[in-house]
Structure 1
Amino acid sequence: MQATKHGEQGHLQAIREALGEGRLKRVGKLLHRTHPAKVAGLLEALPPNERRAVWSMVDTERAGRVLTFLHEEICAALAQELDPDDLAASVQYLELDDLVDLIQVLPGEIGARLLAATGGRRRQQLETLLSYPEDSAGGLMNADPIEVRPDVRVGTVMRYLRLLDELPPQTDMLMVVGRDGCYQGGLRLSTLVTADTDERVSDLMQVEVAGIPVDMPAAEVAQLFDDLDLLSAPVVDADLHLVGRITVDDVVDRIREDADRSVMQMAGLNQDADTFGPILAGSRSRAVWLGINLVTALLAAAVISRFEATLQQLVALAVLMPIVASMGGIAGSQTLTLVIRGLALGQIQKGNMRLLFTREMGISVINGLLWAIVIGLLVFAWFDSAMLGGIIGAAILVNLLCAAAAGLTIPLLLHRLGIDPALAGGVILTTVTDVMGFFAFLGLATLWLS
């Protein structure tokens, strides 16, 4: 595998070198031998002008597959550069779930043209899949399950499978469906190929995987796949009729997208933004986040200004203030990250919130006392002032306790309000730890000096 990875990297490097040397014919040949996912990665790593040049050399029959691996902003831009007929031709061989995802990220008129260019039963299936919310089991599923009846024999099933051109990707089991269309269980291929040809499907099928409701949130679907180590799972409607199946590759894609979104949103960035996109567009999206941060910084500055007289009496306080804020920020971020992860995995519920609160506050007390003593002794040795060492030690303890409480309550409150904690939690936490840290430190110093 490692050798294959190095080979792919060398292949992409050869494309970049050929592009830099202007050897466009060689670029075209290399692109034809490169996996669509790697082509997408190359396109995203190129500046817009070079990206368009390389995109024009991608074969029409492979262009649709490449589009499915691109981030939304780049995907939409490159799709619009294709001739409408070429674009329609390039997506006809995509799996239905991939085509659904592509239509959902493209501009409305382009998506409508792709839908209109699809005919027959495939169009009916496409319209059905598009009717489900994108972040639901219906939005993840594909309409390609292989169905068998429970009363047929293994030999009949084997003959039926041989008539098929190929099995759908990620097929590890067949769906057992009654004559009423209701899902009854799954027949694993490993069981099928080792069974006697006279055995009936009903005697071999397993019901360990119940049908996933079509409206189940995508996050819960991902958790189910993780818990049960599934490769595929059936999807059923309210009447338990089989309507499709979800495969692990689509779940992995969703997990990766959610992880990317959380990381980018914590910095106020759009996960689908083009790394080499227009300067004005990039600056506009970041300016909002910087403005929010300015407001929080001004709030902290306002707290400091309330203690101007104290700072004038003891200049050392200004030197030590960042230590208090920094320690609180780190401690709060640890708790915040733990809670956000627990919410994402469904580990935090009403029944265990009190236990989690007790645990985190206990950790904060121990760490607060430990580092209050360490920092207090360091400050005493630095400034030869037991008073200053005691003040900063007490402020550290207070701020770490406040940071733990904020790290717990902020994501829980945002989650209850329907706001992604990863998006706003960090900014709010930083404000709380800065304000409380400065207030505790300077407030204690004011009391001591008065």
Structure 2
Amino acid sequence: MPVPDRKSPESLQDRLDQVTALLRQHEEAGRLEEGARERAGNLGDQVSSRVELQDKLEELHPADVAYILESLPLEERLKVWQLVGTEQDGEILLEVSDAVRETLLADMDNHEIIAAATTLDADELADLAPDLPRDVVRELMDTLDAQQRERLKSALSFDDDQVGALMDFDMVTIRDDVTLEVVSRYLRRFETLPDHTDKLFVVDLQGVLKGVLSVNKLLVTSDDQLVADVMAIDPVIFDPRDDAGEAVQAFERYNLVSAPVVDSKGKLQGRLTIEQMLDYIREEAETEALNAAGLVEEEDIFASVWKSVRNRWAWLAVNLCTALIASRVIGLFENSIEQLVALAALMPIVAGVGGNSGNQTITLIVRGIATGQVQMAHGERLLRKEAGVALINGLVWGAALGVITWFLYYNAPLSIVLMSAMVLNMMLAAFMGVAIPLLRVRMGGDPALGSSVLITAITDSGGFFIFLGLATVFLL
């Protein structure tokens, strides 16, 4: 029997390179030269390259097209976007980042947006709706049937970090008083099952959830068994108002692929799937990384200069203020630095190591808050633990730096002062690394937002003050 040829899958970079090359051909063919023959020939080349590029885009998954659009400068991005088939527009708009979606929607008129949106389900529309013009949302509402309209309103009524905003409505429900044979025949009526269908939801006539029937159980159990006899009556369930982060943890803890969402009366509202959980994790991770760097929102890498400036200026202003404070701390000890020049060479080490230690602590605390492991009540215990870690690290690395300093300057008191400053600044970094995110949580803020900027500012100013202060007292 012949072995079929195996073709390695193309990487995203390969696909991007192919689309970029086709786009270059299309643009080159569009630059018509003088002369009727040349112009006619180039026009044919342009049409050919356009068709080839459109065919390539149609072959790609919407997620791959989204990656390509995000990787192109604005002008080229819009050219490719205009060549994408209308039936793909809605899925691609869901896949691209918020910042890139804004540029694509700005290039579409209302009719194009509505045409793209009508290909989506209610839960998908709920993800897209906040970015659409209000008049477009109203028109979309009019195009939906009563059930879809109610589902969309329901999804839009929840906050982004609640289960209700993430759930989808594409699921299979069955009754408990039928046999598995009847269920199997019912499933064969579908062309395809909803993605991630690992269980069927058993409901009564009022839509109240009574249990779940796993597809695995359906396949291996005798056909004459009733659903009621083999279904699980105690599945993991979620309320639409539950925190999405807690749902993610439950999916991980119980190895879930899908789970029902029910209201306070037990009525089935929708379901969560592993796909939605992964999307939520990715978005939260990206937001946390941006916030830690002091970026207010996700930024299109090819955004205009002024958009990028607006996104970055706030925490840069904070950073400037903290840098000025650090410089004034150094200014207080100008005379000390003039008398012992070695201080100027050594003080960045104290500040740098303290900042690194503080960032380690704050990263662990923010992660613990995100996973639900760290609560406000844990503050005192965490402070003691991190202070112990900082004390040991400060003594070990402070002593090592003290020895190096002695070999450089042959000044034992300077070595002792440097080691002491290292210990004290790392203790300060540990305290602030725990306190900053917990205080932000208590005030209702995001513990990751600007945390790196704040801890660096505190350890810089504190490190300079501690080291130069000790040096002034004991060395001069």
What TM-score bracket applies, with the shorter chain setting the length?
Answer: over 0.9
Correspondence 1:230 to 2:256: yes
Identity %: 38
Q: CA deviation at 1:271?
A: 4.4
CA contact (8 A) 1:97 1:142 kept: yes
Aligned to 1:20: 24
1:230-259 superposed Cα distances (whole Å, 9 cap, x missing partner): 111100111121111011111111110111
Q: CA RMSD in A?
A: 1.9
Give the secondary structure class of the aligned counterpart of 2:450.
helix
User: Which is further off, 24-33 or 159-168?
Assistant: 159-168
- The one-letter code of the counterpart of 1:135 is D
Distance 2:214 2:71 in 1: 41
Counterpart CA distance in 1 for 2:129 and 2:429 is 44
Which residue of structure 1 aligns with residue 137 of structure 2?
111
Distance 2:249 2:68 in 1: 31
Alignment correspondent of 1:79: 105
Distance, in Å, in 1 between the alignment partners of 2:233 and 2:326 is 58
State the distance in 1 between where 2:298 and 2:362 align: 25
Q: CA deviation at 1:352?
A: 4.6
CA distance in 1, matches of 2:116, 2:377: 52
Contact 1:211/1:240, CA 8 A, preserved across alignment = no
Map Cα deviations across residues 180-204 of structure 1 (whole Å, 9 max, x no partner): 4322221100101211122121221
- Structure 1 residue 282 corresponds to structure 2 residue 308: yes
Per-residue CA deviation, residues 117-138 of structure 1 (Å, 9 max, x unaligned), is: 3234322322222222222111
TM-score by length of 2: 0.90
Deviates more, 1:247-256 or 1:108-117: 108-117
Contact 1:75 1:106 in 2 (8 A): no
Question: Which letter maps to 1:140?
Answer: L
Whole-Å Cα distance in 2 between the matches of residues 310 and 10 of structure 1? 60
Find the aligned partners of 1:273 and 1:295 in 2 and give their Cα distance.
24
Cα deviation for residue 3 of structure 1 reads: 6.4
Please point out which of 159, 164, 169 is paired with 1:138. 164
**Is the partner of 1:27 in helix, strand or coil?**
helix
2:259 partner SS: strand
Q: CA deviation at 1:273?
A: 2.1
Task: Give the 3-state SS of the residue equivalent to 2:118 in structure 1.
Answer: coil
Match of 2:228 among 181, 192, 202: 202
- How many equivalent residue pairs? 449
Q: What is the letter of the counterpart of residue 302 of structure 1?
A: R
Contact kept? 2:403, 2:415, Cα under 8 Å = yes
1:372, 1:365 → 2: CA distance? 10
Report if the CA contact (8 A) 1:185-1:209 is conserved: yes
Task: After TM superposition, give the deviation of residue 12 of structure 1 in Å.
Answer: 2.6
- Alpha-carbon contact 1:103-1:114 (below 8 Å) kept: no
| Deviation readout 1:343-375 (Å, 9 max, x if unpaired) | 111111356544433332222111111011100
| Deviation string, structure 1 residues 93-116 (Cα, Å, up to 9, x no partner) | 323322210112223333333333
Answer yes or no: is the 8 Å Cα contact 1:88–1:117 preserved in 2.
no
Residue equivalent to 2:274:
248
1:436 and 1:191 map into 2 onto residues whose CA distance is 63
For 1:403, the equivalent position in structure 2 comes to 429
Structure 1 counterpart of 2:41: none
* Equivalent residue letter for 1:298: L
Cα distance in 1 for residues equivalent to 2:431 and 2:205:
57
Which residue identity lines up with residue 29 of structure 1 in the other structure? D
Give, as a single letter, the amino acid of the residue that structure 2 aligns with 1:12. Answer: L
**Which of 292, 297, 303 is the equivalent residue of 2:318?**
292
* SS of alignment partner, residue 83 of structure 2: coil
User: How many Å apart are 1:283 and its aligned residue?
Assistant: 1.5
Are the aligned partners of 1:97 and 1:141 in contact in 2 as well (CA < 8 Å)? yes
Structure 2 contact 293–450 (Cα < 8 Å) conserved: no
- Tell me the equivalent position of 2:154: 128
Gaps of 5+ in 2: 1-5, 27-48
